[in-house]
């Protein structure tokens, strides 16, 4: 698959921590994108992981902050900063739910012209977004 990919939060965590839970073939696609430095996460993604860990909704073998620090150093996965364009895009998305992290992640993919890698059906149904899962 050519072009940039943006990982939703669960896709990023699973890719790094539990790749076997990803659909068959997806890891190869992500590895290829990573080798081309075309694999990205939104800057909001580490925040969402930290919040989920604080709420006890996600657990790691390491302390969550340490896991995040190590995950953010993985070569080939870029962090796309939030900017005014992404913020405006996120504010004007016609989504049925107000989750700010989902909005910023989807807006990041749209602004990059990237494919969004997500299992979330609500995001995959969004008309303007290209998505990939399995």
- DSSP letters of the chain? --S-EEE-HHHHHHHHH-GGGSPTTHHHHHHHHHHTT-EEEETHHHHHHHHHHHTTS---SS-HHHHHHHHTT-TTEEEEPP-HHHHHHHHT---SS--HHHHHHHHHHHHHTPEEE---HHHHT-TT-EEE--
8 is in an annotated binding site: yes
99 is in an annotated binding site: no
Instruction: Cite the annotated binding site by residue number.
Output: 8, 102
Q: What are the binding residues for Mg(2+)?
A: 8, 102
């Amino acid at each position: 698959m050519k072009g940039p990919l943006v990982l939703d939060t669960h896709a990023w965590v699973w890719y790094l921590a539990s790749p076997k839970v990803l659909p068959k073939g997806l890891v190869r696609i992500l590895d290829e994108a990573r080798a081309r430095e075309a694999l990205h996460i939104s800057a909001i993604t580490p925040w969402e992981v930290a919040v989920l860990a604080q709420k006890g909704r996600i657990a790691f073998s390491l302390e969550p902050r340490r896991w995040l620090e190590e995950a953010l150093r993985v070569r080939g996965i870029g962090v796309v900063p939030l900017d005014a364009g992404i913020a405006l895009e996120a504010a004007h998305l016609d989504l049925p739910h107000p989750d700010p992290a989902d909005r910023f992640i989807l807006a990041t993919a749209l602004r990059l012209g990237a494919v969004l890698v997500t299992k979330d059906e609500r995001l995959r149904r969004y008309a303007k977004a290209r998505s990939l899962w399995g």
